[in-house]
Structure 1
Amino acid sequence: MDPDYFKSHEMCWGTLGTVRPFSNFHPDRDVVEIQAALDKKDALTLVRILTNRSNAQRQVIAKTFGETTQKDLAAGVKKALAGDLEVLLLDLLMPSLQYEAHRLQQAMAGLGTDEETLMEILCTRSGEQLQEISAAYKQLYKKDLEKELKGETSGDFEKLVLALLNKENVAGSVQRDITSLLASLNGKKADAGPWINILTSRDSDHLNNVLMGLELESGQMVEEAVEKRFAGDLRLGLKVLVECIQSPDVYLARRLTTLKTSTVQGIMVSHSEEDLLCIRVAYLKLTGTSLYTALQKEFKGDHLQALLAICRSED
């Protein structure tokens, strides 16, 4: 990474994200630098600026660029760059809600569906956020997200996905919920209904108490029960949901251990201003290696420098 990167750019600290608003923000100055960098195909300058501004600041830069040059910044990035770095910088240029909508659309595009990415987003976002993402999806793709999800899923997994999309907190009794979940496992075939209804409609504190009580009363880990009694996409969905209830940071860190480019970029861009520091801590505990070091072993070139800039530092 550019050794002057941190020296020359002050950061505004104080959140659980790694990317914070740039304290000495001058969009006009950024646009001049970006325009020159696009002409020279200077990837390092583009990385330095776009990874060191908050999403809101990047939107101001894109707007100012359009007004100043009468050109679209994203189109300029597409022309100047290629490959994974191009995709990453285009991801950074999307407004946050549009980016989540884009990830959902990509998970459903083409042959087959990326069920885990669908579940990742649905399980780690609040009901209110998901409604905003649904609105962004409609604006971007002129399609209804709920209908799209129905078309890509079926059976109990479809019910789970739609319940998560429309989740809302409903008061419940911890003991009654534990009893319902235990009873659902007693028959020849496990009943998915109580799992879907309860795990998508209570707050996280309530659900953590339910899951702990379920383990005490059943004598087995919840993940084991899900693994044994459910199958297919529903099993995957319930496992992700349980992990996210217990610790979304650990779940996202586990997802990052695949070091698959689309997964790494998706999570790092989505969480860079919210809780990537927490995910980094969980990654270190899970693997014994920092995320920063893991990225250096897997990626290279300017693409690596951009990922490291979002990650920010060694743990």
Structure 2
Amino acid sequence: MDPDYFKSYNMCWGTLGTIRPFSNFHPDRDAMEIQAALEKKDSVTLVRILTNRSNAQRQVIAQTFEEITQKDLTSCLKSALSGELENLMLELLFPPVMYDAYHLQKAMAGLGTDEETLLEILCTRSGEQIQEISAAYKQMYKKDLEKELKGETSGDFAKLVVALTNKGNVTGVVQRDIEILSASLNGKKAEAGPWIDILTTRDSGHLNKVLIGLETLTGQTVTETLEKRFSGDIRLGLKVLVQCIQNPDVFLAKRISTMKPTVLHRILVSHCEEDLLCIRIAYLKLTGTSLYTALQKQFKGDHLMALLAICQSED
């Protein structure tokens, strides 16, 4: 198995995730317990094990399960579970980079494009992470991610998502960048190009200074400026990007607050070993209710049990 899949095993300690490597980890024991649980359709045991192991440990369990049973764990889970619980358990088995690649492909599949999902992933991942996602996308779908994005989007929005797949780290001068963005707003039609160029090629510390300076200059928030001066998909894209630069935790908390299972699963699974504790705090400040309590009001049964296990605790 690719060693890159196991990066999360080392990285999650000391981070702000809710899921940590299980200290007394015995993959043989877990695989055999899962085998027995699948035969009995014992969802409680399946949830207990799969939500209480890091992603790297789940990869070892899946491999061990196949060696012991000569069966694919994903296929067995599909046979034993159903509904949203099945979806969530299957998502937990994806290696992180492949998980993001899967959701990007899903956002572009079929009629129409899910721009919000594209933005959620591309705006909250670093340039290095996006390069890894692009490589995984090519491995999984035999297609180039950048070309796929170009084919599924158009105009300035296409330029933005392509720029996001090639995030750079160009040194800029704060005052100069403020002036460039301000000038882009002065014409009859606002120019998206300078915004795309600056917002996708500077580090977040620099960009936060630029955005604060622009707000001081215009006398309104950047979001208000974008709302007034742009329209359509590019307005959505720039607004999301600005939100993610200013406070990605708040942006993700807003996404979670819709309580749509697909969005909720994606964020919980993607961030449970990285920064879910920060997102939980942002959710509490945003809604006045802890995420743990909100989940109990919205969901039930084994699906709720699994969600709470990933969320971990009350704030």
The TM tier, using the shorter chain, reads over 0.9
TM-score (norm 2): 0.95
CA–CA separation in structure 2 for the residues paired with 1:26 and 1:130? 32
Match of 1:186 in 2: 186
Match of 2:202 in 1: 202
User: Deviations along 1:166-200, whole A, 9 cap, x unmatched?
Assistant: 01110000000000000000010000011000000
Match of 2:4 in 1: none
Aligned pairs for 1:281-300 (under 5 A) are 281-300=281-300
Match of 1:255 in 2: 255
User: Deviations along 1:207-245, whole A, 9 cap, x unmatched?
Assistant: 000000000011111000000000111010000000000
Is 1:174 the equivalent of 2:184? Answer: no
Is 1:25 the equivalent of 2:16? Answer: no
CA–CA separation in structure 2 for the residues paired with 1:293 and 1:237? 31
Shift of 1:143: 1.1
Aligned pairs for 1:150-161 (under 5 A) are 150-161=150-161
User: Deviations along 1:151-176, whole A, 9 cap, x unmatched?
Assistant: 11000000000000101110000000
CA–CA separation in structure 2 for the residues paired with 1:233 and 1:14? 38
* Aligned AA (2:63): K
Aligned pairs for 1:130-279 (under 5 A) are 130-279=130-279
* Aligned AA (1:272): C
CA–CA separation in structure 1 for the residues paired with 2:43 and 2:166? 41
- In structure 1, the gaps of 5 or more residues are 1-11
The percent identity for this pair of structures is 76
Match of 2:112 in 1: 112
Shift of 1:291: 0.5
CA–CA separation in structure 2 for the residues paired with 1:20 and 1:107? 29
CA–CA separation in structure 2 for the residues paired with 1:14 and 1:283? 22
CA–CA separation in structure 2 for the residues paired with 1:162 and 1:294? 36
Shift of 1:112: 1.1
Match of 2:124 in 1: 124
* Aligned AA (1:218): T
* Aligned AA (2:294): A
Shift of 1:13: 6.6
Shift of 1:110: 1.5
CA–CA separation in structure 1 for the residues paired with 2:21 and 2:124? 23
CA–CA separation in structure 1 for the residues paired with 2:180 and 2:15? 39
CA–CA separation in structure 2 for the residues paired with 1:45 and 1:228? 52
CA–CA separation in structure 2 for the residues paired with 1:148 and 1:305? 37
CA–CA separation in structure 2 for the residues paired with 1:35 and 1:26? 14
- Number of aligned positions between the proteins: 304
CA–CA separation in structure 1 for the residues paired with 2:300 and 2:163? 40
Secondary structure at 2:259's aligned position in 1? coil
Match of 1:84 in 2: 84
The CA RMSD over aligned residues, in Å, is: 0.9
Match of 1:5 in 2: none
- In structure 2, the gaps of 5 or more residues are 1-11
CA–CA separation in structure 2 for the residues paired with 1:292 and 1:108? 31
Shift of 1:14: 4.0
CA–CA separation in structure 2 for the residues paired with 1:300 and 1:141? 35
Shift of 1:115: 0.5
User: Deviations along 1:5-27, whole A, 9 cap, x unmatched?
Assistant: xxxxxxx9743000100000000
CA–CA separation in structure 1 for the residues paired with 2:152 and 2:297? 35
CA–CA separation in structure 1 for the residues paired with 2:110 and 2:82? 22
Match of 1:4 in 2: none
CA–CA separation in structure 1 for the residues paired with 2:137 and 2:224? 35
Q: Which runs of 4+ in 1 moved over 2 A?
A: 12-15
CA–CA separation in structure 1 for the residues paired with 2:109 and 2:20? 32
* Aligned AA (2:254): R
* Aligned AA (2:106): Q
Secondary structure at 1:167's aligned position in 2? coil
Is 1:60 the equivalent of 2:81? Answer: no
Match of 1:8 in 2: none
Match of 1:7 in 2: none
